[in-house]
Amino acid sequence: MNKFKNLFQFVSIFLIFDKKSKIEKGLKYKLEYMKLSRLQGDFIAFFGTGNLENDKWDCRFQNEKMIWGKNIKDLFFEMERLYKRIPFGIKPEWCTKRQMRKYKKMINQFIKK
């Protein structure tokens, strides 16, 4: 029984320590998170949500003058740079690698037009 109690204490301490280190790392990359969130918002607003009635009221919809950077390509490259800068263990759940690949395809299709 003592072995299980000691093991439980060890695991509990490890999990608490791991959670603290994730929080500390998260605070270290707070600015990257905030900027990535803002850029993702610009990106989504530029391409629209699929609801044209709502999208047309957003000044960023299909308007490169109203988004971050000189154009949509610059915006995406900055998003990609920030995403790569954040360590693997604390990457945001709201912006995944799959979404970044999808965004890249959207950019390539937009540029070809």
H helical segments located in the chain: 2-28, 30-47, 52-55, 72-85, 97-112
- Cα separation, 112 vs 104, whole angstroms: 12
Q: Is residue 62, in this structure, part of any structural domain at all?
A: yes
Q: Is residue 35, in this structure, part of any structural domain at all?
A: yes
pLDDT at site 83 = 97
Q: What are phi and psi of 96, to 5 degrees?
A: -100, 170
Position 60 pLDDT exceeds 80: yes
Mean pLDDT, range 13-37, rounded to an integer: 74
Secondary structure of residue 103 in the 3-state scheme: helix
Total domain count, the chain: 1
- Each residue's pLDDT tens digit, 64-82: 999 999 999 999 999 999 9
Q: Is residue 5, in this structure, part of any structural domain at all?
A: no
Mean pLDDT, range 16-24, rounded to an integer: 61
Q: Are 26 and 91 in contact (CB under 8 A)?
A: no
Q: Is residue 7, in this structure, part of any structural domain at all?
A: no
